[in-house]
Amino acid sequence: MINTFFYTLGQGVKNVFRNKWFTMASLATISACLFVFGIFVAVVFNVNHIVKTVEEGVSVTVYFNEDVEQERIDQIRELVTRRPEVYRCDFISADEAWAEFSKKLGENAEGFIENPLEGSENLQIYLNDVSKQGELVGYLETVEGIRKINKSELTANTLTGVKAVVTYVSVGMIGLLLAVSIFLISNTVTIGISVRKEEINIMKYVGATDFFVRAPFVFEGIIIGLIGSAIPVVVLYYLYNAAFAFLQSNFAFLNDFISYVPASDVFIYLAPASLLIGVGIGFFGSFFTVRKHLHV
């Protein structure tokens, strides 16, 4: 059994070199598809990271009734903190609010003897997912002791829409690229079968099993898929680092507004995913083609 396995594996390797031009075409197509796939993944990682960073700065502000006691404020804060969509809830006293606002006023703040924001104690509530803002606001409207809720509905809707568009476009493009890759692998294996048809018939006449005949073509597809996926991963890794360094050195002002995901954080997921997809494309593309065209 072991000898048979290594023999069929060797035949699969030979098939790769036997059909050089079609193998090169399949490798080029798979590499191109997974290269574009890798670009999409890198873009999605960074877009989601940027959106997440912006989301962390979007808050819901809650103001209390004038007669509400500190004990009730603490209770409300505890209730809000327990909500699953909330990751942080900060209490801002009137003095803290004025200290922050007076920084913006600068010298103009010196004209105020008393705190003009007295009675403006509030909660700054930050969410795990800004799309859940509506649910949180709906809950806050039912809580006794709250007189006003400031929310960023437009910002929340915009961020949610951006995430949805990126997701749908990425899924559609990735599906299309994978379909094209499988089609090319299928054509390569089909040609390999037609070239070796006479040899396969002889093998069947002398008692070769279905596995013995089919396995080399499946191994051929897996090898093409593996090599075709490894090439774009290596190329993308160096291009990503180069692009990252270029943006940081030539557009340094963007660093204050946009943070990029390091290559290590992207490729720890992208590299194994690309290799698995490449092997999967090669396996399924060749396996189903063999079953369809190789009647053994």
Q: What is the pLDDT of residue 110?
A: 57
Whether pLDDT at 262 is above 80: yes
Q: What is the pLDDT of residue 93?
A: 78
Torsion of Cα atoms, 244 then 246 then 251 then 256, to 10°: 30
Residues 273 and 171 grouped into a single domain? yes
Residues 49 and 63 grouped into a single domain? no
Q: What is the pLDDT of residue 112?
A: 57
Q: What is the pLDDT of residue 234?
A: 93
Among 136, 151, 166, identify where a domain stops.
Answer: 151
CA distance 124 to 77: 10
Mean pLDDT, residues 257-264 taken together: 77
More confidently predicted of 157 and 110: 157
Residues 174 and 36 grouped into a single domain? yes
Residues 180 and 289 grouped into a single domain? yes
More confidently predicted of 110 and 148: 148
Quick one: pLDDT band at residue 231, thresholds 50, 70, 90? Answer: very high
Report the range of poorest mean pLDDT among 37-51, 134-148, 170-184, 274-288. Answer: 170-184
Mean pLDDT, residues 35-61 taken together: 80
Among 120, 151, 182, identify where a domain stops.
Answer: 151
Torsion of Cα atoms, 283 then 289 then 295 then 296, to 10°: -10
Mean pLDDT, residues 177-206 taken together: 68
Residues 6+ apart with CB under 8 A from 241: 263
CATH of the domain at 97: 3.30.70.3040
Maximum mean pLDDT: which of 19-23, 210-214, 220-224: 220-224
Residues 75 and 172 grouped into a single domain? no
Among 128, 151, 174, identify where a domain stops.
Answer: 151
**Domain that includes residue 138, residue range:** 59-151
Q: What is the number of residues in the chain?
A: 296
Q: What is the pLDDT of residue 113?
A: 54
| pLDDT-above-90 percentage for the chain | 4
Torsion of Cα atoms, 107 then 90 then 126 then 74, to 10°: -140
Question: How confident is the model over 86-102, as pLDDT tens digits?
Answer: 888 888 877 776 676 56
Mean pLDDT, residues 238-247 taken together: 86
Mean pLDDT, residues 233-248 taken together: 87
> CA quadruple 32, 38, 42, 45: dihedral positive or negative?
positive
Maximum mean pLDDT: which of 10-19, 58-67, 114-123: 58-67
Strand order in the sheet with 59-64: 86-92, 122-127, 59-64, 146-150
Residues 204 and 252 grouped into a single domain? yes
Residues 162 and 143 grouped into a single domain? no
Q: For the chain, report the end-to-end CA distance as a whole number of angstroms.
A: 20
Nearest to 93 by CA among 104, 85, 105, 101: 101
Q: What is the pLDDT of residue 237?
A: 92
What residue type is 25 in one-letter code? Answer: A
What is the phi/psi pair of residue 67, to 5°? -90, 5
Whether pLDDT at 240 is above 70: yes
CA distance 184 to 28: 10
Q: Decide: 233 and 271 in contact? Cβ < 8 Å.
A: yes
CA distance 193 to 212: 14
Indicate the pTM of the whole model.
0.63
State CA 73 to chain mean position distance.
39
Residues 177 and 284 grouped into a single domain? yes
Residues 265 and 172 grouped into a single domain? yes
Q: Decide: 44 and 163 in contact? Cβ < 8 Å.
A: no
CA distance 6 to 26: 24
More confidently predicted of 184 and 227: 227
Residues 69 and 131 grouped into a single domain? yes
Whether pLDDT at 261 is above 90: no
Whether pLDDT at 293 is above 60: no
| pLDDT-above-70 percentage for the chain | 72
Q: How many domains does the chain have?
A: 2
More confidently predicted of 266 and 216: 266
Gyration radius (Cα) of the chain, Å: 30
Quick one: pLDDT band at residue 194, thresholds 50, 70, 90? Answer: low
What is the chain's mean pLDDT, rounded? Answer: 77
Residues 288 and 180 grouped into a single domain? yes
What is the phi/psi pair of residue 91, to 5°? -90, 125
Residues 6+ apart with CB under 8 A from 166: 43, 44, 47, 48
Q: Decide: 11 and 223 in contact? Cβ < 8 Å.
A: no
Residues 6+ apart with CB under 8 A from 279: 222, 225, 226, 229
Residues 276 and 185 grouped into a single domain? yes
